[in-house]
Amino acid sequence: MKKLILLFVLISYFNIHAQYWTSPDGITEIASTSINDIAIAKFDSKGNPIIIYNPIIANKLGAEVSAFFRAHEYGHHYLGHVLNQNHPNPNIRLWLTRNAESEADAYAVRYHISMNNINVLKKTYNTFMNQNHPGDRTHLPSRIRAQNIASLYFNITGNQL
C-alpha cells in the first residue's frame, strides 16, 4: 500500500511538473523520500550528475515552487557548484556554498523568465515570504531570497513581480 501511494505521488509529480520543466539530457533525477529537503544536486558513485528529489515535499510545495527548485538544482550542476563542495579548505567551501545558493536562485529566475513561467516566480516569492525561515550557515533568510528573486526579476524585465 505504501509503495502504491508513493507510485501515485510520483506519477502526479511528473504530470504536474512536466508543465513547467523539461529535463535536459545528462542529469538523472531520482525520487527519494529519505532526503530531508525538496532536492539536492550531487554526483553518484560513478561521477554522473544526479538530482535527488523528495516527491512528498515537492507535492506539498506545489508544481510552481517545485519547478523553481528543480531549475535551482540544475543550476548547481551547470554552474559547477557541486564540484566546489569538494574544496579542501572548509572556509572556502563554506563561502563557495553560500554564494552558490544565491547563484542557483538567480539561475532559476533567469530560466523561468526565459520560459515565461511568471507564476513559478510569483509563487516561490510568496512561499519564501510566508515561510519566513531565518536561514542557516549556507542559506540566506527566506525573505531575503524572496527579495532577491523579485529584484532580479525587476532588473531583467522592468516589471514588478
Chain residues binding Zn ion by CB under 5 A are 101, 104
- Residue number with CB closer to Zn ion (12 or 29): 29
Instruction: Report the alpha-carbon distance of residue 88 to residue 21 in Å, rounded.
Output: 34
Instruction: Report the alpha-carbon distance of residue 32 to residue 39 in Å, rounded.
Output: 9
Backbone φ and ψ for 62, nearest 5 degrees, come out as 95, 165
* Smallest distance from Zn ion to CB 52, Å: 12
- Residue number with CB closer to Zn ion (64 or 101): 101
- Residue number with CB closer to Zn ion (17 or 76): 76
- Residue number with CB closer to Zn ion (71 or 104): 104
Q: Could you give the residue ranges of the DSSP H alpha helices within 19-141? A: 55-61, 63-78, 81-84, 90-114, 118-131
* Smallest distance from Zn ion to CB 107, Å: 10
* Smallest distance from Zn ion to CB 80, Å: 13
- Residue number with CB closer to Zn ion (104 or 150): 104
- How many other β-carbons are positioned within 10 Å of the β-carbon of residue 38? 20
Asked if residues 76 and 84 have their Cβ atoms less than 8 Å apart, the reply is: no
- How many other β-carbons are positioned within 10 Å of the β-carbon of residue 150? 18
* Smallest distance from Zn ion to CB 136, Å: 12
Residue number with the smallest Cβ distance to Zn ion: 104
Q: What is the sign of the dihedral through the CA atoms of 58, 63, 67 and 68?
A: negative
* Smallest distance from Zn ion to CB 103, Å: 9
